[in-house]
Amino acid sequence: MKIVVLLGPPGSGKGTLAASLSEHLRLAVFVIGDALRAAIDAGSKLGLKVKSAVEAGRLVDDETILALAREFLRTHPEGVLLDGFPRTIRQAEGLRSLLSAEDDLHVIYLDASEETVTSRLSSRRVCPGCGEIYNMRFRPPKNDGVCDNCGVTLIRRKDDTEEVIRERYRVYLRETAPLVDYFADGLIRVDGNLSGDKALESVRGELCPA
């Protein structure tokens, strides 16, 4: 089974790259953040448990996240793209323990500066209907404030405020950046400052059979 991990700070373009790679590789994407936000919106037991951490930009506990990832891998034996997991060494170890020697693990690291990600996230808007991601400065919708695909009013994520963006970046440096060394062997580095198309171009050859 092919597993592609997308690693990088919040706002480095993981979501955009995951969406285009999933088409090219025909793999399902597991966006952990989306799963958590959906649980919060539904007011489920999981949602109530993770709400305060997600809205404050802190990480949810490893056990909860590993249980979600385990279930997604179990139900997608053909392979998956993982956007936002693992985010700690403990989660990375948990992922490794779920894989067998035949599994084909690729880790893509989107490297972007704090300045780039802060500026991207503060002008990011998302469509609550189809999940399309826009940027009011660099990739605005055609019609003010509504999604090009489905006409739904775009929203700003609760954790895309300046204060929470800063906290998320701090958490990234402390908890997730060490994974770049952890996965150093065979890591595919991508310049996270590139546009979505260029980022896709730079990894496609390494992941897709010719």
Q: Which is nearer to ligand AMP, 50 or 142 (CB)?
A: 50
Catalytic residue among 157, 158, 166, 189: 157
Q: Specify the DSSP class assigned to residue 200.
A: H
The answer to whether 46 touches 64, Cβ cutoff 8 Å, is yes
Residue 168 is among the residues annotated as catalytic for this protein:
yes
Is residue 33 a contact residue for ligand AMP (CB under 6 A)?
yes
Instruction: Give CA–CA dist 131/41, Å, rounded.
Output: 14
Per-residue contact track with ligand AMP, 112 to 151, x per CB under 6 A?
A: ----------------------------------------
Q: Which long-range contacts (CB under 8 A, 24 or more apart) does 197-202 make?
A: 197/20, 199/13, 199/16, 199/17, 199/110, 200/17, 200/20, 200/21, 200/24
Is residue 179 a contact residue for ligand AMP (CB under 6 A)?
no
Residue 124 is among the residues annotated as catalytic for this protein:
yes
Q: Is the dihedral of CA 115, 119, 120, 121 positive or negative?
A: positive
User: Taking the C-alpha atoms of 162, 155, 11 and 88 in order, what is their torsion angle to the nearest 10 degrees?
Assistant: 90
Catalytic residue among 37, 120, 125, 168: 168
Is residue 84 a contact residue for ligand AMP (CB under 6 A)?
yes
Is residue 85 a contact residue for ligand AMP (CB under 6 A)?
yes
Q: How many amino acids of this chain bind ligand AMP (CB under 6 A)? A: 18
Residue 157 is among the residues annotated as catalytic for this protein:
yes
- By beta-carbon distance, which residue lies closest to ligand AMP? 33
CB of 210 to ligand AMP, least distance (A): 31
Instruction: Give CA–CA dist 4/192, Å, rounded.
Output: 17
Residue written as tokens 């985010």? Answer: 87
Task: Name the site residues for ligand AMP (rule: CB under 6 A).
Answer: 10, 32-33, 36, 53-54, 57-60, 65, 84-87, 91, 159, 168
Residues forming the active site: 14, 87, 124, 157, 168
